[in-house]
Amino acid sequence: MTPELKAGDFLLRPLRPEDAPAVHRLVNDWSVVRMLSRLPFPYPRDLAQKWIASTLEDSSRGSAHHFAITRDGILLGAVGLVLSDDKRSASLGYWASPATWGQGMTTSAARRVTEWAIQVLKLEKLTADVAVDNPASSAVLRKLGFRETGRSSRRFVSRGTECPIIVHELARSTFLQLDIPAPVETASPAALEDQPSAPAPIRKPRTLLVVAAALLDAQGRILLARRPEGKRLAGLWEFPGGKVERDETPEQALIREMKEELDVDLTGACLAPFTFVSENAGPFHLLMPLYVVRRWRGVPAPREGQALAWVEAADLAKYPMPDPDLPLIPLLQELLG
């Protein structure tokens, strides 16, 4: 199902039937609808209702995910993903109210959905296409790391004619290497002027030392934590832990992190190193020792807004995790099998 995501001051949530009047009002604007190839002009009210109903059906099937872009409860636009049949790629689309152009909303919302698609859905590629006379939308895509891959044409229903389009693509490997700055200014896909934007730089990764724990309860279940919205890799499940600070040993860092994150005390516990991860994680190279912990003092509680779950080893693969954590699953399953 389509989740709720946060993008700065904006909440991205599934569309609702009661959004139909706002969708109809915003899309039924020539400056918006002329850039959306499949929609007629004027845009009828019942079509907004039918479209929202279809997005809910698509979400339940996992074939597409459409998000309403809202702030303070007010719908300001939408961003969506339509997945390929094999669920390995998707096309990205978006539109926004002209009142929001130039405020950073479109880039912020599209970036968060792109991040979710690649990190949680594990898509290998995203595509997007825009009309040639809509350079601002291409600028938004460039800020996200998309590259132009070709040109074609498509019939735009609202214009009643075939129009040239630019095809863009973003590979998963490219996105994971990008060091993307926070948006300063952007425009909606229907803005009138292009905002020049250099591609996000690819930088040589630095080594980041972090430590993690597989806390095992009396039933042999493993504690996972889901990163909350607003943090990097939000929505993914992970083994609790964190960065090793300067002048700390991994064991000292683990004790500190468990107290800060879960309010449990590992002092004096047997911290058994189990294995480690060494992997390129985009802007940095990750080195992460994993400790198996069977005893501690206190009851694990979320102190940083994260969700917690005790998970059977056999069910670990059902929880979307960061790529570096995935090789740990079969090792833990073998240990606890």
Q: Are strands 284-293 and 206-215 parallel, antiparallel or unpaired?
A: parallel
**Residue 280 is assigned to a structural domain of this protein:** yes
Alpha helix stretches (DSSP H) within the chain: 20-27, 30-33, 45-61, 105-119, 135-143, 172-177, 250-262, 328-336
Task: Give pLDDT, residue 239.
Answer: 95
According to the model, what pLDDT value does residue 269 have? 78
pTM of the model: 0.77
Say what the pLDDT of residue 71 is: 96
What local confidence, expressed as pLDDT, does residue 204 receive?
54
Distances, alpha carbon 159 to alpha carbons 15, 47, 134, 213, in Å: 27, 18, 14, 58
- The last residue of one of the domains, among 129, 156, 177, is 177
Task: Specify the CATH number for the domain of residue 223.
Answer: 3.90.79.10
Does one domain contain both 23 and 165? yes
Weakly modelled stretches of the chain, pLDDT under 50: 181-202
Question: Do 42 and 140 reside in the same domain of the chain?
Answer: yes
Alpha-carbon 277 to chain mean position:
23
In a domain, 182, yes or no: no
Tell me the per-residue pLDDT of 184-201, one tens digit each, with 9 for 90 and over: 333 333 332 333 344 444
**Separation of alpha carbons 194 and 59, rounded Å:** 33
Provide the pLDDT for residue 186: 35
Whether residue 170 sits in one domain with residue 84: yes
Rounded CA-CA distance 154/162 in Å is 5
Residues 116 and 49 grouped into a single domain: yes
What residues are paired with 207 via a beta bridge? 285
Q: Do 238 and 321 fall into the same domain?
A: yes
Residues 164 and 17 grouped into a single domain: yes
Q: What's the confidence (pLDDT) of residue 1?
A: 86
Q: Number of structural domains, the chain? A: 2
Tell me whether residue 78 is in a domain. Answer: yes
pLDDT of residue 183: 37
Could you say which of 158, 177, 196 is where a domain stops? Answer: 177
185 belongs to a structural domain: no
201 belongs to a structural domain? no
Show which of 177, 192, 216 is a domain's final residue. Answer: 177
Same domain for 321 and 232, yes or no, is yes
Encode pLDDT of 138-190 as tens digits. Answer: 999 999 999 999 999 999 999 999 999 999 999 998 988 875 544 333 333 33
Do 167 and 254 lie in a common domain?
A: no
In a domain, 196, yes or no: no
Residues 22 and 164 in one domain: yes
| Cis-peptide, bond into residue 42, ω within 30° of zero | yes
Contact between 287 and 207 under an 8 Å Cβ cutoff? The reply is: yes
* Beta sheet of 206-215, edge-to-edge order: 241-243, 206-215, 284-293, 272-280
Q: Do residues 328 and 221 share a domain?
A: yes
What pLDDT score was predicted for residue 200?
A: 47
CA dihedral 47, 50, 51, 54 (to 10 degrees): -160
User: Are 295 and 217 contained in the same domain?
Assistant: yes
Domain containing residue 154: 5-177
The string of DSSP letters for 5-71 reads EEETTEEEEE--GGGHHHHHHHHSSHHHHTT-TT--SS--HHHHHHHHHHHHHHHHHTSEEEEEEEE
The amino acid that residue 271 corresponds to is L
82 neighbors 164 (Cβ within 8 angstroms): no
CATH number, domain of 78, equals 3.40.630.30
183 within a domain of the structure (yes/no): no
* Inter-CA distances, 80 with 12, 33, 63, 128, 289, Å: 10, 16, 11, 11, 37
Residues 171 and 234 in one domain: no
199 within a domain of the structure (yes/no): no
